A and B are shown apart, each in its own frame.
Chain A
């Protein structure tokens, strides 16, 4: 189908973009891999499209102290090829590798994916596991929102009207394919034979990506051994509320969450990243 008529702007500065975003029916075009299909199906009909394609400042990856700062308009493909990401956030590279296809990866952006907040998307869960922070700019200035607070509900984030996600800040660290039925991202730090620190994030197990807190609690300080891991992983679906839809039942998603958490943690401990 053809989208409904819409005004189009391509601002050359972040400030100019923020100014246009004051219109509450404005929509940000950050790669268009989700928005364009919605426009074509006429499920979304904004008055004005704010194309961020000209904002060179929002592209690219740089190191800032102990963090990586990834511009919101950095494409999946650029992330995939970036040497800093490969070195300090290989989980992000691994997750990006399986986003869509080559064409999608050349157009879609990390900021677009995070701001769209599709619970079946891989990057929101990865940002949770990476303990990322979102850098947000609005008319009244800039603020930082941790990933744990960023995803509010189905397709809903903590971005206020008029605000723009400009960058993602990822602590230097270290998952997942396609539209996942369920995705699991796990990250752990070992101290001798024990699990010193563990973070497990689940994609598509709730209206937002969520952390498997029961598993994290059970395994923090536990022995890095399957006798501890297996019973802990059976609790991966605790506190989740997965959808019951055409792709899978909620019960099957809960089951998958446990199986995949087990595999992700085992893979993590073995030093490699398993796919889901």
Chain B
């Protein structure tokens, strides 16, 4: 029998038929007997005292069963949790799910109506009476930190949430960055702004809570059913065994559903109060204005180098917008980048400082890449600026600084040990695929000819930390949970296999990839494996899906559980084959007596023997089921080189991405088709930050980009065909060699595109353009460059 390896095969995803057609269970599809529908009244004010709120008029509306405000539930609603209090003295304000006395951002929930239909609940919202007394609105990060600034939380006396520092000199991982700056021949100083972004997952958030007896079942469009169960229990004082959380099929998250939301707790409180099942599904408008946003930081950067291009050190100061409160991991998001600002380079001195600031805006929190795109953007933009300063090719300046393949494992100035990689190989491949030299020639010709459409070439050579995370490291960073993952393998009597995973896919394709792993490890057909996830009743142990961790960590747990199944089956197979277990080997899905390749017994044979248990060896437990929990010893470090060419219309400022090449090294690819899909989606979100998306508040704290007309997500028509390829540096600590791919494209793409846009206009005096590089911003950059050129008398 020939056994084809499943791992490495570009299988189409088994979950896609139901996901694409929508013929599946989304939270919004759930209808329970007697279920009430909730509508939430949201604050139109960015900062105000609620001087009066009266829900009684809503009670008289058709179909309305109940209506209440934050004051009605102030004592029982609890405070939304923050699981990552990054410093001992962090300022951490209460965060009531329903505002009680004060609202601190537009879109904050202030009252709830429960009715027999969604329409009736929405109609009745208009009857709730609220009087607001406006308070000063805090929006600008630097003004918020100034002496005497208006305060988001008056009782805290400050808008500063925390200051966090990493210093390589103090940590013993490198030298002093101030010395490096003082002795440098070249210092590049820049300020970059990471604009505010909206995760904009496809499926809006939705929650159903069913109180039956003393049990609470919560269905939620969440990435984190396990964390949600734990925290709902803690926040509401409900015993954990009385809370079941189900994440049914979930339509995307990008970090936006890595949250314990006000809406989840409001539904819980409403269900407990009313004794009936309740459902809330947000509209897109609600989602944009109230679901957490991402990024929103000011980066002040100083890069020290010698004139030969050797980088000597980097100093980073981040001013990070927390929004009005601290969400689940809000303060930690900038810190996920703290260890990545050195990128793929081996310079000897580094200092990172971050200040978290409160403003009257919706909270920021995880968004695809979370900290690492910001870090990569900073270092990759700086490397381009250094190249220009030294008149070097941007590839060459990188080459002179990056870690060489033979230097792995390499401990960086930020204290991480990079596992494996070959930056030169990935870069060479990308250069060839793009046709780099030819494009440089065309660029020179267009500059020479004064073509109104100029060509720019952008480079981004990135790495990232995946596989969140070694629990000890998380502990040292004051994160409130561990980083392990669990898997359970259940072998059914007919030899079919159920896998219960602690990961919680919401579009990633775990059902397919996990099936491929099990098929190889147990020798069962791909289609015989069913992957169960997202229901804490079946999958009671897990830490869910975010941070490119599921395969890198959960995949190992699954592999280990499979090995345990094989070990358990071995004595049973030996009994069936009438031999000594020590003489057996398990290859190609069969137990065979060493040296006798014919015959043998499969896992299915053993599972039937376990089911009957008529003739098991003495002392053998009649089960093949096994579980495993894996806590990683290190992160994994995928890397890659992304190159792109853009055309910039200098008359209108319009940017068109002409070609884009992504060569990623994600270790061993379990399913190359899924890897490619992840790279495509990631790159698109990265390009979107570079060119299209920005969440904008006006001076009163109203979200101007509150619809998809104004928050401009790109569509396929706005994007180029992507060329993708891979190099493969297996993860040394991983039995499958896999590293993680969920965020790679997003991390790499943004600086690649902005570098390209700036490169196109460099000869016209442009050295930076604020993201997103909209036509107007590009045009304005050209205008101000030509103005300063004229003032400077030309150069």
Contact = CB atoms under 8 A, between A and B. Distances in A.
B118 A2 contact: yes
B710 interface: yes
Given A2-B118, A4-B123, A179-B709, A249 B776 contact: yes
A248 B704 CA distance: 13
B22 to A, nearest CB: 16
A181 B775 contact: yes
Q: Most chain-B Cβ atoms within 10 A of its Cβ — which of A40, A179, A256?
A: A256
B651 interface: yes
A111 B156 CA distance: 57
A8 interface: no
A40 B715 CA distance: 23
A240 B779 CA distance: 21
B122 interface: yes
A41 B118 CA distance: 14
8 contacts: A2-B118, A41-B285, A101-B715, A246-B705, A248-B776, A252-B775, A252-B776, A259-B652
A1 B122 contact: yes
Contacts of B122: 1-2
B431 interface: no
B494 interface: no
B74 interface: no
B779 A255 contact: yes
A150 B774 CA distance: 33
Q: Most chain-B Cβ atoms within 10 A of its Cβ — which of A101, A246, A247, A248?
A: A246
Nearest to A181: B775
Contacts of A2: 118-119, 122
A181 B118 CA distance: 37
B696 A246 contact: yes
A15 B774 CA distance: 49
A5 interface: yes
Nearest to B712: A247
Nearest to A252: B776
Contacts of B709: 179
Nearest to A120: B709
A44 to B, nearest CB: 14
B694 to A, nearest CB: 9
Interface string A161-185: 0000000000000000001010000
B503 to A, nearest CB: 33
A247 B705 CA distance: 10
Interface in B750-795: 774-776, 779-780
B283 interface: yes
Given A2-B118, A252-B776, 14 more contacts: A1-B122, A1-B283, A1-B285, A2-B122, A5-B123, A41-B707, A246-B696, A246-B705, A247-B710, A249-B776, A252-B653, A252-B780, A255-B779, A260-B652
A101 B718 CA distance: 13
A246 B703 CA distance: 11
Contacts of A41: 285, 707
Nearest to B649: A259
Interface residues of B, number: 21
Nearest to A276: B652
Nearest to A37: B707
Contacts of B283: 1, 40
A246 B696 CA distance: 8
Interface in B642-674: 651-653
A4 to B, nearest CB: 7
B119 A252 contact: no
A229 to B, nearest CB: 15
A40 B651 CA distance: 39
Nearest to B122: A2
B285 A246 contact: no
Interface in A218-276: 246-249, 252, 255-256, 259-260
B513 to A, nearest CB: 32
Contacts of B715: 101
Contacts, number: 35
Interface in B682-716: 696, 704-705, 707, 709-710, 715
Q: Most chain-A Cβ atoms within 10 A of its Cβ — which of B118, B123, B652, B774?
A: B652
Interface in B576-625: none
Given A5-B123, A41-B285, A246-B696, A259 B651 contact: yes
Contacts of B118: 2
A5 B119 contact: yes
B699 to A, nearest CB: 13
A181 B283 CA distance: 27
Interface in A35-80: 40-41
A8 B507 CA distance: 39
Nearest to A98: B717
B710 to A, nearest CB: 5
Contacts of B774: 248
B38 to A, nearest CB: 13
B123 A246 contact: no
Q: Most chain-B Cβ atoms within 10 A of its Cβ — which of A101, A181, A249?
A: A181
A144 B696 CA distance: 44
A71 B161 CA distance: 62
Contacts of B780: 252
A179 B283 CA distance: 23
B651 A246 contact: no
Nearest to A248: B776
Contacts of B652: 256, 259-260
B779 A252 contact: yes
A46 B174 CA distance: 69
Contacts of A260: 652
Interface string A1-36: 110110000000000000000000000000000000
A120 to B, nearest CB: 9
A204 B776 CA distance: 16
A247 B696 CA distance: 11
Nearest to B698: A246
Q: Most chain-B Cβ atoms within 10 A of its Cβ — which of A5, A248, A252?
A: A252
A255 B119 CA distance: 46
Contacts of B776: 248-249, 252
Contact of B710 (A1, A246, A256): A246
A33 B616 CA distance: 69
Please list the 10 inter-chain residue pairs (A to B) with the smallest Cβ-Cβ separation, ordered nearest first.
Answer: A252-B776, A1-B283, A2-B119, A259-B651, A246-B704, A248-B776, A246-B710, A2-B122, A259-B652, A246-B696
Nearest to A259: B651
B389 to A, nearest CB: 31
B195 to A, nearest CB: 13
Nearest to A177: B717
Nearest to B694: A246
A4 B775 CA distance: 38
A252 B652 CA distance: 9
Interface in B707-745: 707, 709-710, 715
Contacts of A259: 651-652
A179 B710 CA distance: 11
A249 B715 CA distance: 24
B780 to A, nearest CB: 7
A175 to B, nearest CB: 16
Q: Most chain-B Cβ atoms within 10 A of its Cβ — which of A2, A181, A248?
A: A2
Interface string B85-124: 0000000000000000000000000000000001100110
A179 to B, nearest CB: 7
Nearest to A40: B283
Contacts of A252: 653, 775-776, 779-780
